[in-house]
Structure 1
Amino acid sequence: MSAAPRVLVAHPSALVRTTLQSVLEKRGIPVVGDADRLTILRQRCAETHPQVVVSAERFPDGDLLAGLTALLSSGARILAVCESHSDNVVDILLAGASGCVFLTDGLPDDVAQGVRTVSKGGSALHPLAAHAVLNRWRAERDGPSPSNPRRDVLTSREREILAAMARGLTTRGVAEKLEISVKTVEAHKARVFAKLGARNQAHAVSLARSRHLLD
């Protein structure tokens, strides 16, 4: 029998963190740490090297989506614990999270099974989330509309900006790397978002990957 995955639990609510830890440990899954802030979550990942992070989608100091690239680069797989279905959940999944469970109708065994599944490289999706992801993928697969056929054609500088975003750099980090001003980076990012039809940085990276713009 394979060893149980090491898990880090992150949620702004102490009650939810305690409940999740109890649910997992009663089912033989060790919890190696917890966090109530996104910044602390990053620190705990670096310290404990969990295989799976069970995380809320929002924290007082930022959204999971904003920190997802850095968390994934640590080698951890992400199982999002969400209050309800929303576009933000789909963005988190498309940006690299391995699954999600909903607190509103999920069962304790769903969380434990989700952790085991994603730790082995699988996906653990609530049926509503799976349906929403499929619908988004179908829409994005179709690409730009005929009335705007050059929507996703990027300039070389815009591709540089996009590649830097894919590496998780902040706007200031991109500016320093490319030796341009923050305002210039913001202008390029706005054009990238417009051309790709993206709502935010993580969505832009997800769209770019699906269209092989980062290859």
Structure 2
Amino acid sequence: MKIIIADDHAVVRSGFMHILNFQSDMEVVATAADGLEAYALVTKYRPDVLLLDLSMPPGESGLIATGKINEDFPETKILILTMHDDEEYLFHVLKNGASGYVLKNAPDGELLAAIRTVHAGDTYIHPAMTTSLVREFVKKGTEVVEDDPFKILTKREIEVLPLAAKGFGNKEIAEKLYISVKTVEAHKARIMEKLQLKSRPELVEYALRKKLLNF
């Protein structure tokens, strides 16, 4: 199977590449440092599996890239790599189209099993997190839709929000996301309006509560 690895740490990419290329049924055809590069490489190589880091600052996050790649290249199975063993992350990456979720500190054997599982068309979730996932789906089914930022904000607004909460200026956000300053200002205004926030401290508090700062 053809595999692409996307992670912002070169040593992680190198380590995973060594492990996977040692397998008789796997070949790493390319590596990427963020979501934008991952998308470009998926477009070029059309891999069977994409190993995608969830958080890749300052580039495009794995969560945003997952939605885009799943929409345009549904035949590529996305396996999320992350240090976050939190059901909030798990719920949203699966909702955005990921086929699995494995922790970076998992044993090599678990990583290989996860890759083969998603390649076969199944979903891989660490057994210890299955109960959390079920609980989260039940909870989400009873929550008010307006309380979920992933349902009321656009993908671009989800990218702008954590950068604004971290204190980046409009020009810095524009440079990071390759958009104009006026577009950033418009996104920020819509975010504040949609979330009914009045100030940046309220925005920071909201981002912390919704665990958006890692995106």
CA contact (8 A) 1:81 1:101 kept: yes
Within 5 Å, give how 1:32-181 maps onto structure 2.
Answer: 32-60=29-57, 61-73=59-71, 74-75=73-74, 76-86=76-86, 87-104=88-105, 106-144=106-144, 165=154, 170=156
Structure 1: where are the runs of 5+ without partners? Answer: 145-150, 153-160, 173-180, 192-197, 202-215
Q: 1:143 to 1:27 in 2, by over 3 A?
A: same
User: Which structure 1 residue ranges, 4+ long, deviate > 6 Å from structure 2?
Assistant: none
Show the counterpart of 1:190.
195
Q: 1:127 to 1:186 in 2, by over 3 A?
A: same
C-alpha distance in structure 1 between counterparts of 2:50 and 2:116, whole Å: 12
CA contact (8 A) 2:34 2:62 kept: no
More helix by share: 2
C-alpha distance in structure 1 between counterparts of 2:54 and 2:188, whole Å: 29
Moved more, 182-191 or 69-78: 182-191
Show the counterpart of 1:23.
19
- Aligned letter for 2:40? Q
C-alpha distance in structure 2 between counterparts of 1:71 and 1:188, whole Å: 29
C-alpha distance in structure 1 between counterparts of 2:96 and 2:77, whole Å: 12
CA contact (8 A) 2:90 2:133 kept: no
Tell me the SS of whatever aligns to 2:52. Answer: strand
Deviation at 1:84, TM superposition (A): 3.4
| TM-score relative to the length of structure 2 | 0.65
Show the counterpart of 1:8.
4
Q: 1:199 to 1:51 in 2, by over 3 A?
A: same
- Percent identical across equivalent pairs? 17
Show the counterpart of 1:207.
none
| TM-score relative to the length of structure 1 | 0.65
Deviation at 1:143, TM superposition (A): 4.3
- Aligned letter for 1:71? I
CA contact (8 A) 1:85 1:128 kept: no
Tell me the SS of whatever aligns to 2:121. Answer: coil
Deviation at 1:88, TM superposition (A): 2.3
Deviation at 1:115, TM superposition (A): 1.1
- Aligned letter for 1:190? L
C-alpha distance in structure 2 between counterparts of 1:77 and 1:59, whole Å: 19
- Aligned letter for 1:9? I
Deviation at 1:131, TM superposition (A): 2.3
CA contact (8 A) 1:57 1:89 kept: no
- Aligned letter for 1:54? L
Pairwise CA RMSD: 2.8
C-alpha distance in structure 2 between counterparts of 1:51 and 1:189, whole Å: 38
